[in-house]
């Protein structure tokens, strides 16, 4: 009986070790998902903001026809172009940063295996 009891205690100890390791890995995965989700949300927000800014500044076709009749200014067009370029540049930077972090995490995962 003592042999069976000691084997049972060993198995219980091993199960506790595996449970602890699994809970740590799950915690790490949750943290990575949280980070990636926030980055994706930020990138989406920048892209949405860029689109909205473009929509507001470009206006509809009817509006642009009215502007050409009234003589739209060169300065207004330049500001629109600059704002769109700036927003797209920010979105590009965030996407590049996200992809670099994703690649680093993939390298870490492959080196751990």
Concatenate the DSSP letters of all residues of 25-90 into one string. Answer: HHHHHHHHHHHHHHHHHHHHHHHHHHHHHHHHHH--HHHHHHHHHHT--HHHHHHHHHHHHHHHHH
Contacts of 89 (CB under 8 A, 6+ apart): none
Above 80 in pLDDT, residue 6?
yes
Residue 14: the pLDDT is 93
- The mean per-residue pLDDT over the stretch 22-33 comes to 88
Residue 18: the pLDDT is 92
Above 60 in pLDDT, residue 38?
yes
pLDDT tens digits along 9-19: 999 999 999 99
Other C-beta atoms closer than 10 Å to the C-beta of 48 total 11
Supply φ then ψ for residue 60, to 5 degrees. -85, 175
Q: Which tops the pLDDT comparison, 37 or 18?
A: 18
Residue 1: the pLDDT is 63
Residue 69: the pLDDT is 47
Cβ atoms of 36 and 94 within 8 Å: the answer is: no
Torsion of CA 25, 27, 30, 36, to 10 degrees: -80
Torsion of CA 108, 102, 100, 35, to 10 degrees: -110
pLDDT tens digits along 60-107: 555 555 455 445 677 777 787 788 888 888 888 888 888 888 888 878
């Amino acid at each position: 009986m003592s042999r069976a009891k000691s084997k049972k205690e060993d198995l219980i100890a091993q199960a506790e070790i595996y449970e602890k390791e699994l809970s740590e890995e799950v915690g790490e995965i949750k943290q990575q998902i949280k980070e990636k989700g926030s980055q994706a949300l930020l990138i989406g927000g920048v892209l949405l903001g860029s689109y909205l800014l473009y929509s507001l500044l470009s206006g509809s076709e009817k509006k642009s026809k009215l502007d050409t009749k009234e003589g739209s200014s060169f300065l207004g067009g330049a500001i629109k172009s600059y704002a769109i370029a700036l927003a797209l540049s920010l979105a590009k930077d965030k996407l590049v940063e996200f992809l670099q972090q994703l690649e680093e995490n993939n390298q870490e995962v492959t080196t751990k295996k």
